[in-house]
Structure 1
């Protein structure tokens, strides 16, 4: 069993950016954690295949939380590879499937009312991005402490960034996939975009929670992996 990060390069506001979805390899089965923005399916496919793996072996996709840079290509993955088992927390599943209006969309719509004229354009664009996300039903709904992937991975509830956010702990590998519960910056784990956290106090508690796991390696979606 091993975890590799998939550096996905893209341009945003005329600047080069990266996200780092994780790929879990368990015997010959693959599990992808988070799917990037809309239209990122080919970028992620190419990175998986460049690492020597075949898409036919992609068994699961785990979603850490409902944000457009994490679930944007989820619908495309499920449409192209219908056998994939989709895993997310029970709470986030309701937003991903469209049963409940997402917290992020509610937050964006409330925030735009108080934005300055210079910020409103971005606010409108962001709301449009969220509204364009296609809903997908989740196959496997998980909660804090659940053991998944043949008991090799423990689900860790890390609310704050969103209320149903999860991270993933791998005791055998002494590794954590953080989602947006932490980002890697200058060899440190810090809170991702505090201004967008739905509950900053819970986000701080969740950061402490995953730091207390004292893993050797943290795989951060933003900033890439960090070793301690």
Structure 2
């Protein structure tokens, strides 16, 4: 039996209540975690998995959608605690995860410093220092666009750049489930581009949403927003329409 578990993790960050939704895939032989939260989230992940009757001792792999801090913060700790796991990421993400290249999010934050007011700059500098504390992790296996992983009924890798250049989404054909990472987020019954002001390439992000429409999606899971309650196809089309209309109105 192939099962998809949503690990809804509620926490406070910067004084605000937030929820993230890592996903756990489980069958008779494999347990695969998709993204793993901020630093020090290992106990929260373990507790969330236990609610579904699964111990992270059974983890066989962690698939990383991209190297933002809320997706990889506990990656090194997971590997240290459960050394049997295979860390999997898109090929271009490897140097950022390993720490041999500066995080793109750090570069982005640093580029804003000269334009910030004296009141804003300390917050940005503190954010950069926090990003610099993210512990590097070695990637055991790289994946490419449309690669098929054989576990848990099959997993198709979809390269969905925009939010970050090496961002991936995952399609599970057995259950027609799309796991979007941050390609889109679910909010107030709608789908949206995740943090468009911080998206590395908005035009690429919109093309990635268009790419998701090539798949037969019966359920769509966002890292921010969890399981989307509506019909995914028209909601994705609305995202494309909204941002394409905005682009045209600016010309």
**TM-score normalized by structure 1?**
0.96
User: Which secondary structure state, in structure 1, belongs to the residue aligned with residue 175 of structure 2?
Assistant: coil
Partner of 1:105: 106
Which runs of 5 or more residues in structure 1 are unaligned?
none
Say if 1:108 and 1:127, in contact at 8 Å, map to a contact too.
yes
CA shift at 1:29, angstroms?
1.9
User: Which secondary structure state, in structure 1, belongs to the residue aligned with residue 119 of structure 2?
Assistant: helix
Q: Name whichever structure is richer in strand by fraction.
A: 1
Which structure is larger by alpha-carbon Rg, 1 or 2? 2
CA shift at 1:218, angstroms?
0.9
Partner of 2:171: 169
Aligned positions of 1:66-215 closer than 5 A: 66-150=67-151, 152-215=154-217
Say if 2:5 and 2:52, in contact at 8 Å, map to a contact too.
no
Which runs of 5 or more residues in structure 2 are unaligned?
232-251
Higher relative contact order (CA 8 A, sep 6+): 1
Partner of 1:8: 9
Say if 2:39 and 2:74, in contact at 8 Å, map to a contact too.
yes
**After the TM superposition, which of the residue ranges 113-122 and 25-34 deviates more from structure 2?**
113-122
User: Which secondary structure state, in structure 1, belongs to the residue aligned with residue 11 of structure 2?
Assistant: strand
CA shift at 1:186, angstroms?
2.6
Aligned-pair Cα RMSD in Å: 1.3
What whole-Å deviation, never above 9, does each CA across 1:64-95 have from its counterpart, x for those lacking one? 00000000000100000111000000011110
Distance 1:16 1:167, change over 3 A: same
What is the aligned length? 228
Say if 1:4 and 1:23, in contact at 8 Å, map to a contact too.
yes
What whole-Å deviation, never above 9, does each CA across 1:168-197 have from its counterpart, x for those lacking one? 011111011100001012332210000111
CA shift at 1:28, angstroms?
4.1
